[in-house]
Amino acid sequence: MTLPVPTTGARRRPAPGNRRWLLLRAGGVVFVLWAAATITFFTLRLIPGDPAEAILGGPGSQAGPEALEQVRREYGLDQPLVAQYLTYLRRLLTGDLGQSYSLHKPVATAIGEQFGATLTLALVSLALAWALACALAAWSVRGGRVAWAIGSGLELVAAAVPHFWLATVLILFFSSTLGILPPVSVPGPLGIVLPALTLAVPLAGFLGQVMRESLLTAMESPFVTTARARGESEVRIFWRHTLRHAAIPAVGLSGWAFGSLISGAVVVESVFARQGLGRSLLSAVQLRDVTLVTGIVLVVALAYTVMTLVTDLADRLIDPRTRAATA
Amino acid sequence: MPSRRFSRPRAVVVVTAAVALLLAACSPGGGTSAEPSGEPVAGGTLTYASGDAEPSCLDPHVGGNYPQALIATQYLESLVSLDEDGEVVPWLATEWDESDDGLEWEFTLRDDVTFTDGTPFDAEAVAANIAHVQDPATASSTGYLALAKIKDVVPVEDHLVRLEMSAPDSALLESLSQVWVAMESPAALERSQEENCAAPVGTGPFVVDQWERQESVTLVRNDDYTSPPADVDTEAVAEDTGLPYLDTIVWRFIPDSASRYAALQSGEVQVIDNAQPDTIRSAESDEAIEELDAPRPGAANRIELNSGKAPFDDERVREAFIRSVNVDDGVQSLFFGTAERSYSPLSSVEPLGLSLPGLFTVDPDAAADLLDDAGWAERDADGYRVKDGERLTLDFPVSTNQSIPAEQSLFEQIQADAKTAGFEIRLQPLDLSSWYGVLAENDYDLVSAPYTKVGPDVLRILYHSDSIEPAPSGYFANLAQVDDAELDELLTRASATSDAGERADLYAQAQQVVLEGYYILPLYDQQNHFLYSSTVRGLRAMPTVSTPTFAEAWLAS
């Protein structure tokens, strides 16, 4: 599940009034959710594989024909696909996410149990990514050409590192060699360090690259010259003026970043044996647990669209240019 | 690192040797002072890390796979068990008697056992459990098949129960020893499936306390535990504490093999399962880590040749394939000596297994002659054999959930060998559900599927023609699609006889038919390696389905 980087083009169109804008956006959210549910439902049901076999135990278990038929009847798998889809959609409209057959419990309960862990991981990683990106920018922007090149190179490498590789390297270094951090999640703050770092490093690389462009523009802007003329120190200028200015486009991407963190959680939660939605999603896909997969996809899509909506709304309130007709 | 391999007939000798090795390994430099033999220490928390997917239900009646068996062994017990020689021994049932026609079995039950919810264990409980497994609403697969021949259960007295059979079943005791049909509290079974899945109630040494999904299951000591199987030496148990010694087991799920091993090394966990060949090899040099090698019972891992359609409907082509691929070298190099080559349809822990290595010697010339004979004489531009313009192509769907990476690499080596002989093998890595789908569609020529079951009756499930496509479900266990009236007859008779000697003889003949027909290419036992910290003592694998039991385990300080 990778999410495309949203373009900012849509925001530049002539904007209608605030209320209408909100209404349109809310409609968009509903459409996105419907599309996510529909695509997930059909993708999972059209790839070969028999959910009934998976329900009956998976690897190493042997299902008899009677048991299979019973399961098919019970879960409506003997109905035509379109009928199954319509039933599912009707249930969704009433807010019922259905019953997970791989977990033997309601999907809403299952997601409720796991959502907190993933949210915590995503938020800690986001904060860590920002801290890393700012620290690197702060250092490289004041260190001259060489530091700039090193910083830019590091960001490029960081952004390109795959999660599973980084996770293994971090475990080898911090757990097996130094022995200072647990290789798998444990209760308490120590357990989240390596998983969060794994997610934060590539994201920091990405945020850093986005910031770097505007950092350059900002440094040559008149307000920086003015600040210098006022005699403010370079450190103060960086943190108070340049960085603030440069961070705006990166902040706008936080919605996207959040979505990408949740998709990264699939890998990270498995490697570090952490609780969470990512791990649930992985096992649900393997077991063809359509209701659970769709439920998780819906929750992630909702979180993603809401984050985007909030950042856009904040943008509109802060920056009048996005409200006025600019075409 | 001392290695313990549990092969029943040799187990006593091997264990003694392993203990000697262990003592040697633990003694400091000079080797003069042995490790203090060690009185079991009561208390402590042990963390177990499983590489399997987290079960969706902790009640192994529901579904019925190996991950469920692993954890349920700690809190559920069966009517009978096996000892290290494969002999059936009493457990919750103290004695049993089969009628002359084999249609009635009477089991005398222990009268001093209580489930951990306070419900007494009695004849009614046995009836409720068998009914639960046989109820289609339970959706039992493994347990359901194991009890298929039980027609009725009659509680005769409080602690005497009669099983009435639809047909004689020589495998009944072996089937009942499996944890998939273990005894649960009838009161607990009456709860909803959701509740019972979350915390099944048994008579075992531990009790399911809490299940934090995707994180861990916490098992706590059953303070009133009284019912170890008869092969446990109760004389050796410390009197003041009794079994079990551990206070708590934390059962975790760490799917990534490298993380799991790192967690063992760092001491976060004390026992890991699904140890991969490279990990076992590197653990050998670590004195703080020991290995438990407990091959699973039932079928050996093998490649099945689909004899139900061309080209493998021709025995010559099957033999040619088997003669052209070199399995030994691949097993040696990819499994680092952790797996032993098998030449039998059955696991090496099955006392009735028949091994015929002579059938599997690699002989490319003989293979070429056989293929020429069978009409696959031409070769196309890519070097593959052709017949009537059709290439000699074999589809090989591989379940990435069931075949470990080393096994998948072995299949690639086999693919390369077969290419030299003129076979084109199309390896198709699939997730489990897709893999089932391909099998149901009969879209395969080669396949490898594990099958765990106690006793040689697994042969009937795997090779009786009844097991070919029992439509309409599409499910079938006879993946080699062996359809041989003589074999069917042997297997049916073996399943019905109550004469041990005759049974052994019939199963030997049946295995000979399967092997000599070149329906399968045996590889090695179903691998089941555990690594554990040397502070863990008293760990053993159940001689039934080879799951480790912590009933007698303790933590040395």
Residue B534 has pLDDT above 80, yes or no: yes
Show the tokens assigned to A168: 């293994």
How does residue B385 score in pLDDT terms, banded at 50, 70 and 90?
very high
Q: Do B141 and A63 touch (CB under 8 A)?
A: yes
Overall average pLDDT of the A250-257 stretch: 76
Cα–Cα distance measured from residue B554 to residue B40, given in angstroms and rounded to the nearest whole number: 6
Residue A5 has pLDDT above 60, yes or no: no
How does residue A16 score in pLDDT terms, banded at 50, 70 and 90?
low
Residue B271 has pLDDT above 60, yes or no: yes
Helix extents (H) in B469-530? 485-496, 500-516
Residue A40 has pLDDT above 50, yes or no: yes
Overall average pLDDT of the B264-270 stretch: 93
Residues of B within 8 A of A280 (CB-CB) are 213-214
Q: Do A62 and B141 touch (CB under 8 A)?
A: yes
| A180 → chain B, closest CA residue | B266
Say what the pLDDT of residue A7 is: 47
Say what the pLDDT of residue A15 is: 52
The fraction of chain A above a pLDDT of 70, given in percent, is: 86
Say what the pLDDT of residue A177 is: 86
Cα–Cα distance measured from residue B474 to residue B490, given in angstroms and rounded to the nearest whole number: 26
Query: Nearest CB to B141: which of A57, A117, A286?
Result: A57
Q: Do A68 and B431 touch (CB under 8 A)?
A: no
Residues of B within 8 A of A271 (CB-CB) are 256, 259
Q: Do B438 and A287 touch (CB under 8 A)?
A: no
The fraction of chain B above a pLDDT of 90, given in percent, is: 78
Q: How far is B507 from chain A (nearest CA, A)?
A: 22
Q: Do B266 and A175 touch (CB under 8 A)?
A: yes
Mean of all residue pLDDT scores within chain B: 90
What is the ipTM metric for this complex?
Answer: 0.74
Q: Do B49 and A105 touch (CB under 8 A)?
A: no
Residue B423 has pLDDT above 80, yes or no: yes
> Residue B187: helix, strand or coil by DSSP?
helix
Opening angle at CA B414, ends B408 and B416, nearest 5? 110
Say what the pLDDT of residue B215 is: 87
Residues of A within 8 A of B477 (CB-CB) are 62
Range from A21-25, A271-275, B437-441, B538-542 that averages highest in pLDDT: B538-542
Residue A143 has pLDDT above 60, yes or no: yes
Say what the pLDDT of residue A211 is: 82
Q: Do B213 and A59 touch (CB under 8 A)?
A: no
Residue B25 has pLDDT above 60, yes or no: no
| A65 → chain B, closest CA residue | B473
Residue A233 has pLDDT above 50, yes or no: yes
pLDDT tens per residue across span B40-81: 899 999 999 999 888 889 999 988 889 999 999 999 999 999
Query: Greater confidence, B123 or A151?
Result: B123
Task: Please give the sequence-ordered ranges of beta strands (E in DSSP) within B201-311, or none if there are none.
Answer: 206-212, 216-221, 248-253, 271-272, 289-293, 301-305
Decide: B410 and B523 in contact? Cβ < 8 Å: yes
Chain B interface test: which of A45, A47, A53 (most B C-beta within 10 Å): A53
Query: Nearest CB to B214: which of A51, A280, A288?
Result: A280
Sign of CA dihedral B410, B416, B422, B428: positive
